[in-house]
Amino acid sequence: MRMPFFLALLIGVAACETTEGFGRDVSKLGNEITEESQEAQ
């Protein structure tokens, strides 16, 4: 079961300590959203 978007975002923000880490977290989250939308089509 996938985590809800906001929960994943909160975990990603809490887990990263640098701007670069935040960018990787956001990118990963964007990829997850893209995959979910493609599966839904």
**pLDDT (tens digit, 9 = 90+) per residue, 7-33?**
777 777 776 566 667 788 889 889 988
Handedness of CA 8, 10, 16, 18 (dihedral sign): positive
Which pTM does this prediction carry? 0.51
Q: What is the pLDDT of residue 2?
A: 64
- Helices 19-40 and 5-15: crossing angle in degrees, nearest 10, is 160
Cβ-based neighbours of 24, under 8 Å, separated by 6 or more: 16
Which whole-number Å values give the CA distances from 23 to 27, 29, 38, 39, 40, in the listed order? 6, 10, 23, 24, 26
Residue 16: the pLDDT is: 58
